[in-house]
Amino acid sequence: MRLLEADIRGFGQYRNRTIRFDSGLNLIHGANESGKTTLMKFIEGMLYGFSKPVSAQPHTEDLERFRPWSGGPYGGCLIYECGGRRIAVDRDFAADTVRVTDADSGEDLTERMIRNGILQQLLPDGESFTISPAAFRNTISVIQGAASADPSSIREELEESLDNLTSSGDEDLSVRRSLERLRTQLDRIGAADDEGELGKLAVREQELTLNLRSAHEILERRERILGELDAIPDAVEDAEDAAWVVQRAGNPWQRNYLQELDQQIEEHVREQDESRMMPVGTDQEYENLIELRMQEKEARSRYGEAVVREQACSEEIGKLREPLDPPYLPPIPRQVWIWLVAGTILVAGGVIGYLLTHQFRGFVALVPGIVMLVVAVSIFLRHRREHKAILDEASAGEADRLNRLSAEERRLADCKEEQEQIRTALSQYTSRMDQLLQQAGVATIDEYRDRLQQSRSAGELADRIAHEQQEKDGWLIRTANDILRARRELLEERLAAIPAVPDAEQMQRELTEVSKRKEALQLERTSLLAASSAIESLSREIRREYGPALARLMNHTVSEVTGGRYNRVSFTEEGELRVTSADGHDYGIENLSAGTGDQIYMALRLAMVDVLSREEKLPLILDDAFARYDEERLLGMLRLLSAEAGRRQILIFSCQTREQELLGRHKIAFSMQTL
């Protein structure tokens, strides 16, 4: 992989700046604050963006750190060669967009070269190799002084070792000695709960914090009481303000009594509102209702009487419609037959005797016979008169029955007609009453009467409510003024009882100083603990995962940079780096000179870069990495990098001129560029 061109539209102090890179060894010179680190961050940002994979903040702090100072566009284009093609990465950091194309054909490679749509991290060549942003920052690209305490990745070992090697001329890589120094410093600092420096500072910080808190509480209490005293009025004259005072500061009895007064007034107001809201008629309509009810009652009474009369007529008609029994006619008395037979016999005998004798003596029997016949006829005629009298009496009774039946039927018709008239009147009365009740919104006349009474009492309720409200307002004002007076006296007593306030400003200055010292010690302790853990963990990581591969890759490089004095590298079980000389002697890294150690460590770095990607030689970017090297060590390192530049692109950022002088003096090929 080879970086070709950085076209910066806007990034940090850069605007509309194009920087090109050559193959091999590139020396990029710039004074402090000239933008060397900014250019390195631009390269990193173009490849990986500033997104965080898992974080409450979606972007790293670099997104805001390198936002253009003068505004305007924020982004640019990076062109690099990888896998036999030239790739152009165009990013707009402000819009968080990225587009990857083939710089020669214009083919869009975004989908294939981007890890995912959220992080938008570029896989420099998705088919050739992949390298994480962390590995890029800490192996390919290293800024002077960068360090990390996380042992989970190889970058921590590189940074920690670089710090050890460049701290002094005779520094070694002994994990044991480094841990001993770290533990000594940790014992000196101690923990927050022991008698070390950190513990003493923690105790003093706690004392100052408690004292300062107490002082602040006293001041706050004084200010709160003074503020409350200022807020208390001399007296209240408005009932609404008085009610607020009673509700907020009154005792339970006062608040309950006020609630009872409010409930009583509300109840009367509700009754008044209900009386006003109820539809009510007039007294005249009420009298009309009473009259209609009396008329209805009278009509129902007459209707009942008519029904009774109808029933009586119906019963009488039923009786009259039954036919009368035929009159009893007594038979002809036997005396008539006896007298008739006897008289007939005597008359017949007299006639026969006269006819026989032609003497008037024959008529002797005729006279009694005629008398008997006369008697018989007389009795028969009397019997006939009796029959006629009976028949005449029966005929007169039938006529009387018919006359009475006709009269009762007429009475029945009159009763029914009267009932119909009464029902019509009842319907009218009922309809009119219902209409009046409906207009008044009531169901009964009694309810109508109650509404009238409520309406009459509405005026009385208004007067009563006004009187109760006046009494309530007077009570509220008196009570509120009593409460305010008592509260003012209580606050004045509390204010007089507050103790003198200590010097809070002096305590705050001392607390700030102690906290800073404690924080610095805690940070130092955390860093020491992290460094100790990192050294131990990284030793195990190197031994288990990277030792064999790194050793194989380092063998040729170590032999070459040391002129054949050392030809083999290995890692012990404890993770110690060992080198073997040409004569077969085995040495620890602490037994080598500083220059040799630097060369071996750079070989380790190059080997680790190769471990990260075997197929594509990655560039090496160093930012003021040799600021503390002496001239001899620096020359050896430049020669090593010059040899490595034949296989990979190397960018050396420096604020000094000695790299340029040494390269020129010893005729080492390089490309020069000034920022």
- Residues 118 and 264 both lie in one domain: no
User: Does residue 195 surpass a pLDDT of 60?
Assistant: yes
pLDDT at residue 168, as a whole number: 31
In the chain, % of residues over pLDDT 70: 77
Residue 481's domain spans which residues?
Answer: 239-279+448-497
Domain final residue pick, 459, 480, 497 = 497
In a domain, 373, yes or no: yes
- CA dist., res. 538 & res. 588, Å (int): 18
- Low-confidence winner among 116-125, 149-158, 629-638 (lowest mean pLDDT): 149-158
- CA dist., res. 35 & res. 46, Å (int): 16
Instruction: Assess contact for 495 and 265: CB atoms under 8 A.
Output: no
pLDDT at residue 562, as a whole number: 75
pLDDT at residue 6, as a whole number: 95
- CA dist., res. 155 & res. 158, Å (int): 5
- Residues 289 and 425 both lie in one domain: yes
- Residues 426 and 290 both lie in one domain: yes
CATH of the domain at 115: 3.40.50.300
pLDDT at residue 394, as a whole number: 74
In a domain, 16, yes or no: yes
- Residues 309 and 323 both lie in one domain: yes
Instruction: Assess contact for 295 and 453: CB atoms under 8 A.
Output: no
Tokens (6 digits) for 390 = 């009976």
In a domain, 196, yes or no: no
- Residues 272 and 288 both lie in one domain: no
- Residues 117 and 91 both lie in one domain: yes
In a domain, 651, yes or no: yes
Number of domains within the chain: 3
- CA dist., res. 609 & res. 611, Å (int): 5
- Low-confidence winner among 17-31, 464-478, 590-604, 611-625 (lowest mean pLDDT): 590-604
Instruction: Assess contact for 603 and 558: CB atoms under 8 A.
Output: yes
User: Does residue 4 surpass a pLDDT of 90?
Assistant: yes
In a domain, 607, yes or no: no
Pairing type for strands 650-654 and 620-623 reads parallel
pLDDT tens figures, 132-171:
666 676 567 655 433 333 333 333 443 344 333 333 333 3
pLDDT at residue 377, as a whole number: 81
Domain final residue pick, 393, 409, 440 = 440
Instruction: Assess contact for 313 and 411: CB atoms under 8 A.
Output: yes
Per the confidence metrics, is the pTM higher than 0.75? Answer: no
User: How many other β-carbons are positioned within 10 Å of the β-carbon of residue 189?
Assistant: 21
Burial class (CB in 10 A: 0-12, 13-18, 19+), 533: middle
- Residues 301 and 422 both lie in one domain: yes
User: Does residue 179 surpass a pLDDT of 70?
Assistant: no
In the predicted model, what is the mean pLDDT of the chain? 76
In the chain, % of residues over pLDDT 90: 11
In a domain, 107, yes or no: yes
- Greatest mean pLDDT range, 162-166, 362-366, 429-433: 429-433
Helix (H, G, I), strand (E, B) or coil at 403: helix
pLDDT at residue 286, as a whole number: 62
User: Does residue 204 surpass a pLDDT of 50?
Assistant: yes
Instruction: Assess contact for 596 and 569: CB atoms under 8 A.
Output: no
Instruction: Assess contact for 642 and 668: CB atoms under 8 A.
Output: yes
User: Does residue 496 surpass a pLDDT of 60?
Assistant: yes
User: Does residue 249 surpass a pLDDT of 70?
Assistant: yes
Domain final residue pick, 400, 415, 440 = 440
- Residues 323 and 376 both lie in one domain: yes
Q: What is the mean pLDDT of residues 67-80?
A: 91
In a domain, 605, yes or no: no
- Residues 300 and 392 both lie in one domain: yes
Q: What is the mean pLDDT of residues 606-619?
A: 73
- CA dist., res. 140 & res. 242, Å (int): 78
Report which of residues 11 and 546 the model is more confident about.
Answer: 11
Return all residues near 73 (Cβ < 8 A) that are at least 6 apart.
9, 10, 92, 94
- Residues 12 and 73 both lie in one domain: yes
Q: What is the mean pLDDT of residues 453-469?
A: 72
Pairing type for strands 25-29 and 14-20 reads unpaired
Q: What is the mean pLDDT of residues 631-638?
A: 81
In a domain, 206, yes or no: no
- Residues 290 and 272 both lie in one domain: no
- Residues 259 and 310 both lie in one domain: no
pLDDT at residue 153, as a whole number: 34
